[in-house]
């Protein structure tokens, strides 16, 4: 790692990474111009960069891709998880080359510029990743300035002034603020996203080519629901990836999305057959003020619950467990997880998609909460179930997007258990 070098940009440098410890790494900027501060994390997925960059769980984070050729299949309007910007941007080894893919309509830098995402190429991402592995995830700033002018002192002050993700509540910043019905199912080649409302009463239906960003309908309480016999899932949006809602629809649910700050009364007013707790950014321990009382109220009333990632962490906290900040986090599309307990004690290994920097401390799980899944990388907790209730959650991302679809059974298990 280069020593601190707060001097003028070397010739040709239009981007820079400034870490809070004073390290300055010069590179070539792309995408949006500007500067953004956050935690530097790494993701080992080889594909799916658009889904990763639009996962709201990455709010407050700058993503280092360990795969060197990011951008080579361009960008399209469908492979996005949420249109609202959450991640700050990304760091790559190589500048994205000309895209080669039939679905591409834009280059990655063009799309990132539109999304307000900053890119930085020409960084030794292997060295940066090893540094994160050895010393933990640092705070830093990435900056892109097409004229090559940077105020390194100001960027360093920005990196040092950022308080860090620990203790930070970001879920309510990225959550939707309105309530609405979610209609779209999962995507298929040549057909786009399935829209089950065209066949009320069953999942699947005629496809629509509407991009993901248009799939969140406006509130429409008077929508015709007669004849719609699907179990009603109320999904609390802490910063959800849209593919979770699509998978709930695919599994046969009717889905209503409510904001992160919805009260217990608001959630119950929809008469949910089950409640889904979404993924999201920030420190779960700092998200408790509004989330925990709602989840505890649902548990008291034995409302069926399914949680993913931040939703998993919030269910564990509501049940009395604690979460911890991980040294380097888990972010990638090939993490092995074993089913080890409760209803999931068959020892089967799933290959999963992951994105988390906090984890449930299994040692703090109270009586009545069973560990159901475990990471085969480091033994950390990857799933829990509440004994005697239809309430379970996983740390990883069974909706994939990107990643393997080994874990779709969790959506089926949740939805088929609802009446
Ligand atoms: N994807 C998520 O929901 C992430 C949860 C939490 N923000 C973490 O980093 O652990």
Checking if the pLDDT of 214 tops 60, the result is no
Ligand 1 test: best mutation among 168, 237, 310, most atoms within 8 Å of CB?
310
Segment 246-272 mean pLDDT: 97
Was 313 annotated as part of a binding site? Answer: yes
Residues 6+ apart with CB under 8 A from 404: 333, 334, 350, 351, 352, 353
Where does ligand 1 bind, in terms of residues with CB under 6 Å? 57, 279-282, 284, 309-310, 355-358
Say how far apart CA 151 and CA 164 lie, in whole Å.
22
Give, using CA atoms, the residue closest to atom 5 of ligand 1: 310
Burial label, 318 (beta-carbon count in 10 A; 0-12, 13-18, 19+): buried
How many Å lie between the centroid of ligand 1 and the Cα of residue 5? 33
Segment 130-136 mean pLDDT: 96
What pLDDT was estimated at residue 84?
A: 79
- Which of 41, 309, 335, 356 is an active site residue? 309
| Of the candidates 408, 193, 187, 195, the residue with the CA atom closest to the CA atom of residue 306 | 408
Was 405 annotated as part of a binding site? Answer: no
Confidence of residue 196 (pLDDT cuts 50, 70, 90): low
Residue 176 structure tokens = 């939707």
CATH 3.30.365.10 fits 171-416, yes or no: no
Domain ranges of the chain: 15-161, 171-416
The least confident of 125-129, 200-204, 367-371, 391-395 is: 200-204
Answer yes or no: are the C-beta atoms of 356 and 397 closer than 8 Å: no
What pLDDT was estimated at residue 73?
A: 97
What pLDDT was estimated at residue 218?
A: 42
Ligand 1 test: best mutation among 284, 326, 396, most atoms within 8 Å of CB?
284
Query: Residue 412 catalytic?
Result: no
Ligand 1 test: best mutation among 40, 175, 288, 309, most atoms within 8 Å of CB?
309
The least confident of 114-118, 211-215, 319-323 is: 211-215
Confidence of residue 100 (pLDDT cuts 50, 70, 90): very high
Say how far apart CA 290 and CA 168 lie, in whole Å.
14
For 276-319, the pLDDT digits (tens) are 999 999 999 999 999 999 999 999 999 999 999 999 999 999 99
Was 164 annotated as part of a binding site? Answer: no
How many Å lie between the centroid of ligand 1 and the Cα of residue 366? 22
How many Å lie between the centroid of ligand 1 and the Cα of residue 117? 20
Instruction: Tell me the ipTM for this assembly.
Output: 0.98
**Alpha carbon 37 to chain centroid distance?**
18
Checking if the pLDDT of 138 tops 70, the result is yes
What pLDDT was estimated at residue 225?
A: 63
- Of how many residues is the chain composed? 419
Give, using CA atoms, the residue closest to atom 8 of ligand 1: 356
For 10-56, the pLDDT digits (tens) are 989 999 999 999 999 999 999 999 999 999 999 999 999 999 999 99
How many Å lie between the centroid of ligand 1 and the Cα of residue 294? 19
Checking if the pLDDT of 200 tops 50, the result is no
Checking if the pLDDT of 219 tops 80, the result is no
What pLDDT was estimated at residue 220?
A: 43
How many Å lie between the centroid of ligand 1 and the Cα of residue 100? 32
CATH 3.50.50.60 fits 15-161, yes or no: no
């Amino acid at each position: 790692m280069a020593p601190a070098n707060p001097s003028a940009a070397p010739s040709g440098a239009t981007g820079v990474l400034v870490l809070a410890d004073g390290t300055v790494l010069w590179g070539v900027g792309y995408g949006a111009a500007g500067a953004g501060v956050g935690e530097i994390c790494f993701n080992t997925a080889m594909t799916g960069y658009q889904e990763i960059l639009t996962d709201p769980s990455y709010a407050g984070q700058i993503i280092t891709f360990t795969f060197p050729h990011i951008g080579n299949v361009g960008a399209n309007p469908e492979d996005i998880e949420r249109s609202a910007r959450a991640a700050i941007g990304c760091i790559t080894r190589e500048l994205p080359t000309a895209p080669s893919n039939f679905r591409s309509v834009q280059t990655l830098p063009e799309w990132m510029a539109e999304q307000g995402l900053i890119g930085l190429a020409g960084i030794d991402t292997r060295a940066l990743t090893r540094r994160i592995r050895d010393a933990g995830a640092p705070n830093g700033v990435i900056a892109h300035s097409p004229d090559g002018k940077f105020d390194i002192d100001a960027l360093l002050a920005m990196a040092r002034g950022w308080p860090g993700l620990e203790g930070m509540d970001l879920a309510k910043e990225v959550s939707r603020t309105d309530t609405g019905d979610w209609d779209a199912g999962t995507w298929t080649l040549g057909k786009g996203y399935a829209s089950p409302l065209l066949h009320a009463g069953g999942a699947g239906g005629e496809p629509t080519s509407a991009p993901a960003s248009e799939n969140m309908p406006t509130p429409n309480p008077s929508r015709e629901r007669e004849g719609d016999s699907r179990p009603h899932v109320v999904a609390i949006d802490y910063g959800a990836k849209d593919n979770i809602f699509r998978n709930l629809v695919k599994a046969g649910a009717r889905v209503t999305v409510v904001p992160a700050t919805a009260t217990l009364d608001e959630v119950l007013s929809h008469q949910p057959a089950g409640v889904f707790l979404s993924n999201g950014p920030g420190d779960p321990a700092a998200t408790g003020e509004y989330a925990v009382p709602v989840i505890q109220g649902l548990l008291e009333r034995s409302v069926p619950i399914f949680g993913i990632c931040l939703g998993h962490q919030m269910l564990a906290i509501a049940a009395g467990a604690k979460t911890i900040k991980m040294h380097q986090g888990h972010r990638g599309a090939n993490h092995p997880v074993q089913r080890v307990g409760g209803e999931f004690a068959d020892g089967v290994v799933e290959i999963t998609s992951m994105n988390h920097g906090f984890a449930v401390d299994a040692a703090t799980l109270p009586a009545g909460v069973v560990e159901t899944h475990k990471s085969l990388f480091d033994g950390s907790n990857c799933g829990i179930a509440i004994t005697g209730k239809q309430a379970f959650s996983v740390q990883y991302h069974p909706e994939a997007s990107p990643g393997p679809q080994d874990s779709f059974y969790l959506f089926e298990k949740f939805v088929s258990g609802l009446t």
